[in-house]
Amino acid sequence: MLTAQNLTKEFDGTLALDQVCFEVEDGCVYGLVGSNGSGKSTLLRLISGVYCPDGGKVGIDGISSFNNPSVKSQIAFLGDTPYFLPQSNLKEMAQFYKSTYKNFDTDTYKYLLSVFPLDEKARLSTFSKGMRRQAALILMLSTRPRYLLLDEAFDGLDVVMRKTLSNIIIDSTEKLGMTVIIASHNLREIEDMCDHISLLHKGKLIADGGIEEVSGKIHKIQAVFENVPETEVFRGLDIMKIERNGSIISLVARGEKEKIVAFVENLSPKFLECIDVSLEEAFIYELEVLGYDIKSIEE
């Protein structure tokens, strides 16, 4: 199991991660979403042992990954911009990884090469952005990691390749028990395949849980009143957002759906509707509570 306890990282006096705690069960697909600069990439670099934590601990089965080859050999990390040795081709890069990763599997490499149709003898510098990412994915998956860390995994991939990658990830988790952690600022990309989602904002973990668990906590209510009550009346609820438009009150609140509906019904609305929110909407509301500008997330 991958665990982080009070994980803290600081860059020149700015907290990139602040006391982050989480656990990732083996064999799951873990989504890490958040606003730009929320600390997603930093978290992945800490897990993979690229960075040393300034506080707290992160590692596999309680063993820290920083400067620890036995832990690092179980992790494959693909950053947001793939890097290859200068003037190298895919074949040479495979040789490079084979010489350093004990679990590098040539059969897997060959299989993946058939899935992602790339010329292994062509220079990687001539590849497009998407092809470079495919090449990097082939290499990372060929190391047969226990934990695959992907930063903006689908960036630059076309629709077919996105689907292919999704299938490979799901396949790997099911058949090999591989754990995948995907960091992205685009929730729609990853919500279909993730078992578990965490939301990071300004270095803090603000939501964490299963897909339904996270989105099921937030509810959107629209109610029409003859005598529109003051918004203060709704203080009894854990309100995230409330808007009044004529006789219509729209509110977003955390909590159990039944309790929220019962509370509003007590105010005798002419009409009441409880709308399920999507995961993306749930995160947007969470970020709005924290004062984050929604437009910058939606891009």
Partner 1 sequence: MTLRVSKNKINPTFGLFKSTVLKNSGIIILLVIAMLIFCPGVFLASLQDRALDPEDFVNQTPEYLDILFGSCGILSVIFVSVANYLSFSYLYKKNSSDVFHALPLTRSGLLLARAGAAFVTVLIPVTVGYISLFVLTAFYPTYVIGSFHQIASAYIMNIICMAFACAFSLIFILCAGSAFDLVLSFAGFNSALLVIGMIINSLADDYLTGYSDIYMTDIMRFISPIVFCGAGATEFAMGEAGKVPYSLISSAGFVTELLAITAVFFIASIILYNHRKTERGGQAYAYKFIYIICSVLAGICGGYLLSRIFIFAADAKDISFISAITFIAGALITSVIYGAVTERGFKKFKSALVYGGFSAVAYIIILAVIFTGAFGFSKRVPEAKDIKNVYVRFQDENVELSAADCAKVLNLHKAVIDRDADDDMEKEVRTPHTYLFIEYKLSNSSSMRRDYFVDINKVDDEMFALYTSSERFGAMYRDIEDFSDGTIDLSVYRYGKAEGGDFDQNRDYIVSAKQLRMLVDTYRAELQKVGKKILTGENTVMQITACLRDQKTFAGRDLDFSITDDFTQTLALIDTFELREDVLGE
Binding residue for partner 1, selected from 22, 30, 104, 116, defined by CB under 8 A: 104
Kindly tell me which of 40 and 144 has the beta carbon lying closer to partner 1. Answer: 144
Contact 153, 161 (CB under 8 A): no
Part of the chain binding partner 1 (CB under 8 A), chosen from 55-63, 74-82, 199-207, 226-234: 74-82
Contact pick of 13, 62, 99, 230 for partner 1 (by CB under 8 A): 99
Q: Are 53 and 3 in contact (CB under 8 A)?
A: no
Residue 263 interacting with partner 1 (CB under 8 A): no
| Residue 85 interacts with partner 1 (CB under 8 A): yes or no | yes
Q: If we measure between CA atoms, which residue out of 190, 153, 4, 154 comes closest to residue 79?
A: 153
Residues 6+ apart with CB under 8 A from 81: none
Cβ neighbours for 127, distance < 8 A, ≥ 6 positions apart: 118, 135
> Strand, helix or coil at 290?
coil
Question: How many residues in the shown chain lie near partner 1 by CB under 8 A?
Answer: 45
What is the DSSP secondary structure assignment for residue 188, as one 8-state letter?
A: H
With CB under 8 A as the contact rule, the residue among 57, 91, 98, 259 that binds partner 1 is: 98
| Contacts of partner 1 in 172-231 (CB under 8 A) | 172, 175-176
Q: Which residues neighbour 83 within 8 Å (Cβ) at sequence distance 6 or greater?
A: none
Distance, first Cα to last Cα, the chain: 35
In the set 28, 37, 111, 281, which binds partner 1 (CB under 8 A)?
Answer: 111
Q: Is 59 in the site for partner 1 (CB under 8 A)?
A: no
CA neighbours closer than 13 Å in the CB half-sphere of residue 240: 22
138-157: contacts with partner 1 (CB under 8 A) = 144
Q: Which residues make up the interface to partner 1 (CB under 8 A)?
A: 11, 42, 45, 48-52, 67-70, 72-73, 75-77, 79-83, 85, 88, 92, 95-96, 98-108, 111, 144, 168, 171-172, 175-176
